[in-house]
Amino acid sequence: MSYSQTTTDTQTHAVNLRVRHDIRTLIDRAAKAQGKTRSDFMIDAARRAAEESLLDQALVRVDQETYDYFLEVLDQPPKGEGFERLMAAAKPWNK
């Protein structure tokens, strides 16, 4: 769940940035393309980058038996109805 979905704090705080003119122009073009203000665009982009960065730091700790089982499952060839259906599906690059 993202930060914006879990917080009830509606008070905003200033964040000041200094960027080169070419970067500001690029940001403005992208914000306009998405129908957003520069601030809204930058806040959304910064929030997504922050969430992604924190999610990349996730560490899952398990005991040795569970880890060995995990590796065993990863080493098994794919199988099952879902896999068969996926392999039988039309490939868009073959059209």
Interatomic CA distance for residues 88 and 95, integer angstroms: 14
pLDDT at 9: 76
Asked if the structure places residue 79 within a domain, the reply is yes
Residue 19 has pLDDT above 80, yes or no: yes
Asked if the structure places residue 70 within a domain, the reply is yes
pTM for the full model?
Answer: 0.54
Number of separate domains in the chain: 1
Under the banding of pLDDT at 50, 70 and 90, the label for residue 23 is very high
Length of the chain: 95
Domain containing 39: what range? 18-90
Asked if the structure places residue 3 within a domain, the reply is no
Whether residue 2 contacts residue 47, with contact meaning beta carbons closer than 8 Å, is answered with yes
Asked if the structure places residue 1 within a domain, the reply is no
Interatomic CA distance for residues 3 and 8, integer angstroms: 10
Query: Helix, strand, coil shares of the chain as percentages rounded to 5?
Result: 60, 0, 40
Q: Residue 15, Cα to own-chain centre: how many angstroms?
A: 23
